[in-house]
């Protein structure tokens, strides 16, 4: 059974960089041709697609993040990562990692709350 687990700092100061990692267990991140995605959910609000990375390494980022976001894969550690620069309070959210199978996400991590505050 595939499992995903987010980790990283739960508190980030404004203007700094948010860094999260998603550890994948129960399967190889390099097999199956899957893509790997980050989704976030501000408190009391809906889901927002941050972006994803294809098996090839090509990335897609939601235009609302412009050049602030980077998603990468570390195959040696079986994990993928999210970096979001110049954060503001609007970036406070629960961040989820998920496996993207074609057009849908079948496995999700439990989520990690990241608060942006001084």
Partner 1 sequence: QSALTQPASVSGSPGQSITISCAGTSSDVGTYNLVSWYQQHPGKAPKLMIYEVSKRPSGVSNRFSGSKSGNTASLTISGLQAEDEADYYCCSYAGRVFGGGTKLTVL
Name which of 57 and 102 has its Cβ closer to partner 1.
102
Establish if 105 lies at the interface with partner 1 (CB under 8 A).
yes
Establish if 3 lies at the interface with partner 1 (CB under 8 A).
no
- Residue 91 in 3-state DSSP? helix
Q: Are 96 and 108 spatial neighbours (Cβ–Cβ below 8 Å)?
A: yes
Establish if 46 lies at the interface with partner 1 (CB under 8 A).
yes
Phi, psi of 63, deg, nearest 5: -55, -25
Smallest CA-to-CA distance from 24 within 10, 5, 37 is with 5
For residues 38 and 45, what is the distance between their CA atoms, to the nearest angstrom? 16
**Residue bearing tokens 């700092």:** 9
Establish if 65 lies at the interface with partner 1 (CB under 8 A).
no
Least separation in angstroms between residue 96's CB and partner 1 is 6
Stretch touching partner 1 by CB under 8 A, among 8-16, 22-30, 58-66, 73-81: 58-66
Binding site for partner 1 (CB under 8 A): 39, 46-49, 60, 62-63, 96, 102-106, 108-111
């Amino acid at each position: 059974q595939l499992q995903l687990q987010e980790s990283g700092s739960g508190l980030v100061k404004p203007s700094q960089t948010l860094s999260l990692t998603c550890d994948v267990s129960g399967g190889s991140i390099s097999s199956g041709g899957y893509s790997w995605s980050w989704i976030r959910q501000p408190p009391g609000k809906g889901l927002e697609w941050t972006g994803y990375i294809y098996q090839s390494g090509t990335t897609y980022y939601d235009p609302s993040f412009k050049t602030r976001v980077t998603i990468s894969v570390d195959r040696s550690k079986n994990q993928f990562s999210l970096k979001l620069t110049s954060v503001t309070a609007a970036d406070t959210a629960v961040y989820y990692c998920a496996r993207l199978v074609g057009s849908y996400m079948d496995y999700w991590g439990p989520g990690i709350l990241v608060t942006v505050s001084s």
